[in-house]
C-alpha cells in the first residue's frame, strides 16, 4: 500500500496559554495602542523590546508591525536615499527587494551558492558598487559571517541583516542579527514566534535606534521606551525624522513575550524534525543535501534540497507526485512565481542581469516547511515519500 501524509503544512501550534491570558488582560483594559499606558506601567511593547534586546545582546530594540516594515525602517534610519544602490541576495523573498524599492533605492543582486547562501566571491566583486548590503539569511541558511564582515568592512559597506528565518540561530556563537549594523526579525505566523504579523529591529547605534523609533510613530513619547537611547539623542534628530507609523501594539507584544521565553525549546524541537528529514533524504540518487557548516547554529523550521541539473519537467513531476501523496514542496525554479517562490528575475521593479551559476542553483531548489505540529514520525514518513518519488523520477519510473 502506498503511504500518504495527511497533515497540514500551514497549521501552527496554538499560542501558549500564558500568551492567551496576557492578551485577554490587554483586551479587557482596552489599551491596545503602544503608548496608551497607566501610571508607571511600561506596557507589553516596551517590555518585549527590553527582553528581546537582552536575549540577543543588543543595546536597542524596536518592535514594529511586520518584518518588512523593520527592513524598510532600517534602510531609512541608516540614511538610504532614493536612487541609492543596495546590495542584496539573488535568493530571497519579495519583501527584501520590496523594502529596498519602497524607499526608492535600487537592488543590486548578489549570487547564491549551492549552500543556499550569498556568494561571497560575487559580493567581493560588487562591494564597491553600493554602501549598504541588505543580507537575507534566506530559509535559515547562514553564510560565513566572519568573511562577509571582512569584505563589507574593507569596502565600507553597512550590513543590515534580514533574520526573518534565523531568530534563534547563530554563527560562531554570535546571534543572527548581531554581526551587522542592524538586525531585523519577523514575527509572522510562519516564523519562529507567531503574532500573525510583527517584527523586531535591533542595533547598537544610538542615532539609528532613535531615528527608527521616531519613524515608527513615537509622537515625541520616546521617553516611554525602555530599550532606547537617552533623550539627548532624540533631541538631535526629532525635527527632521518623519513619522511612518508602524510600532507594534500591546496585543501582539503580549502574545509574543511567552514565546520568546520558550524559543530555545522550540529550536530543539524544530531541529529534531529537520535532522529526521535530512537523514531520510541523505544518499537519495539525484538529490543534493544542503550541508550545514559546523560554525552555524541553525533553526530547522524548513528544509531545502537540490535537484541539480534536472530538467524542469522532471522537477515539476517530483512536485506533483509528492503533492499527490500529501507532501507540499515549493519549487523556486518555475517560470512564474507561485506563492512566495519568486526569484530575482521576477521583480520587474528591480533591474537585474543574468547570473548563470546562480540560475542553475535557483532552478534546482525545492523547499518544505516543517511546522511543529508535525511529529518526528510524520517527518520520517515525509522523507520516505520524497525519497521514493525523487527516486522514481530519477530512474524514469
Is residue 79 pLDDT above 90, yes or no?
yes
Q: Is residue 152 within 8 Å of 181, Cβ to Cβ? A: no
For residue 1, the model assigns a pLDDT of 55
Rounded CA gap, 359 and 355, in Å?
A: 6
Q: Stretch 21-30: mean pLDDT, rounded?
A: 97
Q: How far apart, in whole angstroms, are the C-alpha atoms of residue 228 and residue 222?
A: 8
Residue 42: helix, strand or coil by DSSP?
coil
Average pLDDT on 169-184 reads 98
Average pLDDT, the chain: 96
Contact 118, 135 (CB under 8 A): yes
Per-residue confidence (pLDDT) for residue 359, from 0 to 100: 93
Query: What pLDDT is stored for residue 324 in this prediction?
Result: 97
Per DSSP (E only), the strands in the chain are 60-64, 85-89, 106-110, 132-136, 158-162, 170-171, 174-175, 182-186, 199-203, 288-289, 296-297, 302-306, 330-331, 365-369
Read off the C-alpha cell for 194. 507567531
Whether 397 has a pLDDT exceeding 60, the answer reads: no
- Give the HSE-up count for residue 263: Cα atoms under 13 Å, Cβ half-sphere: 19
**Full set of structural domains in the chain with CATH:** 17-261 (3.40.640.10), 263-394 (3.90.1150.10)
**Does the pLDDT value for residue 353 go beyond 90?**
no
Length of the chain equals 397
pTM of the model: 0.96
Query: pLDDT, tens digit, for every residue of 294-326?
Result: 999 999 999 999 999 999 999 999 999 999 999
Q: Please name which of 378, 328, 391 lies closest in space to residue 190, comparing C-alpha atoms.
A: 328
Q: How far apart are the C-alpha atoms of 252 and 194, rounded to whole Å?
A: 9
Longest CA span, the chain: 71
- From the list 354, 76, 44, the residue with the least C-alpha distance to 210 is 76
Q: CA 324, CA 322: separation in Å to the nearest integer?
A: 5
Amino acid at each position: 500500500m502506498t503511504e500518504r501524509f495527511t497533515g497540514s503544512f500551514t497549521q501552527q501550534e496554538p499560542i501558549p496559554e500564558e500568551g492567551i491570558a496576557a492578551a485577554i488582560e490587554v483586551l479587557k483594559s482596552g489599551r491596545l495602542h503602544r503608548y496608551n499606558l497607566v501610571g508607571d506601567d511600561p506596557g507589553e511593547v516596551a517590555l518585549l523590546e527590553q527582553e528581546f534586546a537582552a536575549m540577543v545582546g543588543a543595546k536597542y530594540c524596536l518592535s514594529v508591525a511586520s518584518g518588512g516594515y523593520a527592513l524598510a525602517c532600517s534602510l531609512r534610519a541608516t540614511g538610504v536615499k532614493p536612487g541609492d544602490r543596495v546590495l542584496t541576495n539573488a535568493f530571497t523573498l519579495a519583501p527584501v527587494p520590496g523594502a529596498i524599492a519602497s524607499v526608492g533605492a535600487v537592488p543590486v543582486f548578489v549570487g547564491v551558492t549551492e549552500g543556499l547562501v550569498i556568494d561571497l566571491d560575487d559580493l567581493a566583486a560588487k562591494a564597491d558598487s553600493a554602501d549598504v548590503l541588505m543580507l537575507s539569511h534566506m530559509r535559515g541558511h547562514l553564510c560565513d559571517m566572519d568573511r562577509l564582515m571582512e569584505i563589507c568592512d574593507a569596502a565600507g559597506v553597512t550590513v543590515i541583516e534580514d533574520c526573518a528565518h534565523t531568530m534563534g540561530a547563530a554563527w560562531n556563537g554570535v546571534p543572527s542579527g548581531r554581526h551587522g549594523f542592524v538586525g531585523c526579525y519577523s514575527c509572522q505566523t510562519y516564523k519562529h514566534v507567531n503574532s500573525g504579523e510583527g517584527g523586531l529591529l535591533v542595533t547598537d547605534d544610538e542615532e539609528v535606534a532613535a531615528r527608527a523609533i521616531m519613524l515608527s510613530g513615537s509622537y515625541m513619547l520616546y521617553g516611554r521606551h525602555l530599550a532606547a537611547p537617552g533623550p539627548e539623542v532624540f533631541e538631535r534628530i526629532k525635527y527632521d525624522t518623519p513619522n511612518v507609523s508602524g510600532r507594534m501594539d500591546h496585543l501582539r507584544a503580549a502574545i509574543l513575550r511567552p514565546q520568546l521565553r520558550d524559543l530555545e525549546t522550540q529550536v530543539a524541537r524544530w531541529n529534531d524534525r529537520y535532522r529526521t528529514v535530512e537523514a531520510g533524504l541523505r544518499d537519495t540518487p539525484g538529490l543534493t543535501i544542503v550541508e550545514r557548516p559546523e560554525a552555524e547554529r541553525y533553526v530547522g523550521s524548513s528544509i531545502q534540497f537540490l535537484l541539480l541539473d534536472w530538467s524542469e519537467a522532471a522537477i515539476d513531476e517530483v512536485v506533483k507526485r509528492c503533492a499527490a501523496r500529501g507532501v507540499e514542496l515549493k519549487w523556486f525554479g518555475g517560470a512564474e512565481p507561485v506563492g512566495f517562490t519568486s526569484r530575482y528575475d521576477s521583480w520587474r521593479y528591480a533591474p537585474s542581469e543574468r547570473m548563470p551559476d546562480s540560475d542553475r542553483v535557483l532552478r534546482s531548489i525545492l523547499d518544505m516547511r516543517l511546522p511543529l505540529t508535525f511529529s518526528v514520525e510524520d517527518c520520517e514518513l515525509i522523507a520516505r515519500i520524497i525519497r521514493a518519488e525523487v527516486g522514481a523520477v530519477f530512474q524514469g519510473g
